[in-house]
Amino acid sequence: MAPVEDTAGAGIVAIGAYAPRHRMVNDEWAQHIDTSDAWIYTRTGIKARHIAAAGESTAMVAARAGNLCLEAAEFDPAAVRWVLVSTDTPEMWNPATACFVQAELGATRAVALDLTGGCSGFIAGLALAEARARLGEPVLLIGCEVLSQAMDWSDRSTAVLFGDGAGAALVMPREPGRPAFEIMNIYARTDGRDADILGKPYGGTRNPLTPELVREGHHHRIVMHGPYVFRNAVTKMAEAAQAALEDAGLRLEDVDLVVPHQANQRIIDALTDRLKIPRDKVFSNVEEYANTGSASIGIALAEAIAAGLIRAGQIVLTVAFGSGFSWAASVWRVTGVPPVRSELNRGPS
């Protein structure tokens, strides 16, 4: 019997990334709250973050990255079948942020949905995107956060950690000869028993806002048990990385580049040490953008490609952890470097 060619499969064929123009360095934070550049940098590796302008909403930031991605691919927006926006800082309660993005992009044949998956939402969203792309349906997946609108600017233990931005990926069925990050495997897990440890609990149906709660500042309160989150981020990302590779029949030594979620340089370093990967194989740009939640992997990919760190024939591993708790990893074979367009307004390094 003639061998059957395995044509099923999907990959990322273009990347778009956007970060707002205003670049806020640590010293600027020290003017608002009792903190310092030294504290922030030594505890997190962060030097700057980008902050959305007044009136620059999540859908606007997401649409910018989505547009850049479609331009990079030279892809007709009307051919997109799904617009998936992974965000924890939505445009509004209802409708989904993705609806505004879909309209802005002119993705007239697309279904638009949001995913609230925490900082690992981009990879979990990729699992859904892959499933539809395998069937021949182009998916635009966008991770986007405007955390500067959601956080409490007077809470030094959380506010200094976050930034705004968006990363987008066009996910398409496998097409021989087309440069892509071919998705070999995705591993994703959630443990909702830790749902209260990290998140923004007020304003939904469990804790509806009242005038009193708003007066007390609960509408922008972010809950985070820092050290517990730190420990779990390291162990769960290590678990996801190893499981994703094992299921793909690969070992850590086979990986050419790891692109982790950018939350904190110390978390990235601890993960690197735990997995015993050489540090030069692990990409980081948390210094420039801080933690941009579900946007961080798309932004990191755009910069890793621009830096020439990703080449045809390589194996790339991406891994993330966030509220939920949720954690995920994905392994890709680089058949060729996908085109990228970005507008990241990077500051001087």
Ligand X SMILES: CC(C)(COP(=O)(O)OP(=O)(O)OC[C@H]1O[C@@H](n2cnc3c(N)ncnc32)[C@H](O)[C@@H]1OP(=O)(O)O)[C@@H](O)C(=O)NCCC(=O)NCCS
For position 189 contacting ligand X by CB under 6 A, the verdict is no
Q: Which of 119, 144, 232, 285 is catalytic?
A: 119
Q: How far apart are CA 115 and CA 95, in angstroms?
A: 12
Which are the contacts of 126, defined by CB distance < 8 A and separation ≥ 6?
Answer: 12, 141, 169, 171, 183, 186, 330
- Compute the least distance from the CB of residue 80 to ligand X, in Å: 29
Q: How far apart are CA 289 and CA 153, in angstroms?
A: 17
185 is catalytic: no
- Compute the least distance from the CB of residue 288 to ligand X, in Å: 16
- When CB distances to ligand X are compared, the closest residue is 226
- Compute the least distance from the CB of residue 7 to ligand X, in Å: 37
Q: Which of 55, 177, 208, 227 binds ligand X (CB under 6 A)?
A: 227
Residue 57, helix vs strand vs coil: coil
220 is catalytic: no
- Compute the least distance from the CB of residue 119 to ligand X, in Å: 4
Q: Which of 12, 13, 73, 263 binds ligand X (CB under 6 A)?
A: 263
For position 160 contacting ligand X by CB under 6 A, the verdict is yes
For position 328 contacting ligand X by CB under 6 A, the verdict is no
Instruction: Give backbone dihedrals phi and psi of 82, rounded to 5 degrees, phi first.
Output: -140, 130
Q: Which of 20, 260, 322, 338 binds ligand X (CB under 6 A)?
A: 322
Q: Which of 26, 57, 148, 264 binds ligand X (CB under 6 A)?
A: 264
218 is catalytic: no
- Compute the least distance from the CB of residue 324 to ligand X, in Å: 10
Q: Which amino acid is it at 314?
A: Q
Which of these segments, 92-100, 107-115, 223-231, 241-249, binds ligand X (CB under 6 A)?
223-231
For position 35 contacting ligand X by CB under 6 A, the verdict is yes
**Hey, what are 343's tokens?**
């507008």
Which of these segments, 81-89, 141-149, 219-227, 242-250, binds ligand X (CB under 6 A)?
219-227
* DSSP conformation letters of 226-289: HHHHHHHHHHHHHHHHHHHHHHTT--GGG-SEEEE--S-HHHHHHHHHHHT--GGGB---HHHH
CB distance 348 to 218 below 8 Å: no
Let me know if 224 is exposed, middle or buried by CB neighbors in 10 A (0-12, 13-18, 19+): middle
Torsion sign over Cα 283, 289, 292, 294: negative
CB distance 80 to 115 below 8 Å: no
For position 153 contacting ligand X by CB under 6 A, the verdict is no
Q: Which of 44, 148, 185, 335 binds ligand X (CB under 6 A)?
A: 44
For position 39 contacting ligand X by CB under 6 A, the verdict is yes
The beta strands (E) that lie in the chain are given as 10-18, 22-25, 48-51, 82-86, 111-115, 139-146, 164-173, 181-190, 198-199, 223-224, 257-260, 315-322, 326-334, 340-343
Q: Which of 25, 37, 41, 43 binds ligand X (CB under 6 A)?
A: 43
Tell me which residues touch ligand X (CB under 6 A): 35, 39-40, 43-44, 119, 156-157, 160, 224, 226-227, 229-230, 233, 263-264, 267, 291, 321-322
Catalytic residues: 119, 261, 291
